Amino acid sequence: MALKLEWTERAILHLEEILHYWEDRNASKTYSLKLYSWIQTSLEILSHYPHSGNRTDNIRLRKKIVKDYCLYYTFDPKTLTIIGIIDMRRDPEYLKKFENKKIRKP
């Protein structure tokens, strides 16, 4: 049975910023729609197989790579919570700080 998906406010903001960036950069929604579809497909798979994502240094946090982005999440027996979506091309120190932040439930 699939886990219920929950998004943190931060993760929603990340997703919106990423999609708007690509819309503005390309003057088209084509790539944004493709990227959104790839993210949705990954979340569907994760909802069935939450252990399939990579572990991070934070034992409660996992990540799934979708194109150039790390989709960070945590899960329990009923819920998969999306914590954030971060561009992997960012400063490695920023990624480490994000992975090591304390996780709060929405």
CA contacts within 13 A on the Cβ side of 55: 4
Residue 103: phi, psi to the nearest 5? Answer: -95, 130
CATH H superfamily, domain 4-100: RelE-like (3.30.2310.20)
User: Per-residue pLDDT tens for 2-60?
Assistant: 999 999 999 999 999 999 999 999 999 999 999 999 999 999 999 999 999 999 988 88
Q: What is the rounded CA–CA span in Å between residue 56 and residue 65?
A: 12
Which two tokens mark 70? 């790390």
pTM strictly above 0.85: yes
